[in-house]
Chain A
Amino acid sequence: KAGVTQTPRYLIKTRGQQVTLSCSPISGHRSVSWYQQTPGQGLQFLFEYFSETQRNKGNFPGRFSGRQFSNSRSEMNVSTLELGDSALYLCASSLAVTHNEQFFGPGTRLTVL
């Protein structure tokens, strides 16, 4: 079974730009969660989607948004990028809601210059 895939793997953007990251969950998984990973901060929860609905949201500004499609693929968007948005963005999928084990993708490394 193919794992969680994320595209692109690396991105370089400048301040003020916007970016869209994509995540394809494991086949059959309907829940997708997004995290921001930075050194010393660990993984910060962004949001979780289940059946195209945002189920939970972490403490991030409205510049961070996401969506999920009917095939469970998910995208997250960050608008008006700031230097502090540089991070590894991780996507995780699970069969149902997050009470289940989450399977992580390799992440998208975003650098904001």
Chain B
Amino acid sequence: AQSVSQHNHHVILSEAASLELGCNYSYGGTVNLFWYVQYPGQHLQLLLKYFSGDPLVKGIKGFEAEFIKSKFSFNLRKPSVQWSDTAEYFCAVNRNDMRFGAGTRLTVKP
């Protein structure tokens, strides 16, 4: 079955540590890729998206993600996390409809 996999269920980091959250998908063909974030008590909001072009995309709040077509991956990165990045992060893939991964909860310790 076509799916979106996020490898880490819960990640705990200290402030200033680097972050990489994995996302793999099993869809063939052309896809659009997204990372969404849900801060505690808030709506889901878009961090970044990839439709085409440069496979390294930059989003809000210093986040970036790299699309590697051969690996069916779209990993999210941030060089130095802050306490305010504590949230749940969702990878999503759109081909005919939008499918989300199960989410990764990030806790940043001050």
- Say if the beta carbon of B94 comes within 8 Å of chain A: yes
Proximity string of chain A (88-113) to chain B, C-beta cutoff 8 Å, 1 when within and 0 when not: 00101000001101111111000000
Flag if B44 contacts A104 (CB, 8 Å).
yes
How many residue pairs between the two chains, A and B, have CB atoms under 8 Å in the bound complex? Answer: 49
Assuming A42-B90, A43-B90, A99-B94, is B45 touching A104 (CB within 8 A)? yes
The residue that A56 contacts in the complex, of B51, B90, B92, B97, with Cβ under 8 A, is: B97
- Say if the beta carbon of A48 comes within 8 Å of chain B: yes
* B92 partner residues in chain A, CB cutoff 8 A: 43
Interface of A is mostly: strand
Flag if B90 contacts A48 (CB, 8 Å).
no
Interface of B is mostly: strand
10 A-B pairs (CB sep. < 8 Å): A42-B102, A45-B98, A56-B96, A90-B44, A99-B32, A102-B98, A104-B36, A104-B43, A104-B45, A105-B43
Chain A interfacial residues counted at CB < 8 A: 24
For the complex formed, measure the closest distance between the CB of A95 and the CB atoms of chain B, giving whole angstroms.
13
* B97 partner residues in chain A, CB cutoff 8 A: 33, 45, 48, 55-56, 58, 98
Q: Closest residue to B91 on the A side, CB-wise?
A: A42
Bound CA–CA A105/B46 (angstroms):
12
Bound CA–CA A92/B43 (angstroms):
10
Chain B interfacial residues counted at CB < 8 A: 21
4 smallest A-B Cβ distances: which pairs?
A: A42-B102, A43-B100, A104-B44, A56-B97
List residues of A whose CB falls within 8 A of some B CB: 3, 33, 35, 40-45, 48, 55-56, 58, 90, 92, 98-99, 101-107
Bound CA–CA A9/B45 (angstroms):
18
- In addition to A33-B98, A42-B100, A104-B36, 15 A-B residue pairs with Cβ atoms within 8 Å of each other are A35-B100, A42-B102, A42-B103, A43-B92, A43-B100, A45-B99, A45-B100, A48-B97, A56-B97, A90-B44, A92-B44, A92-B98, A101-B46, A103-B46, A104-B45
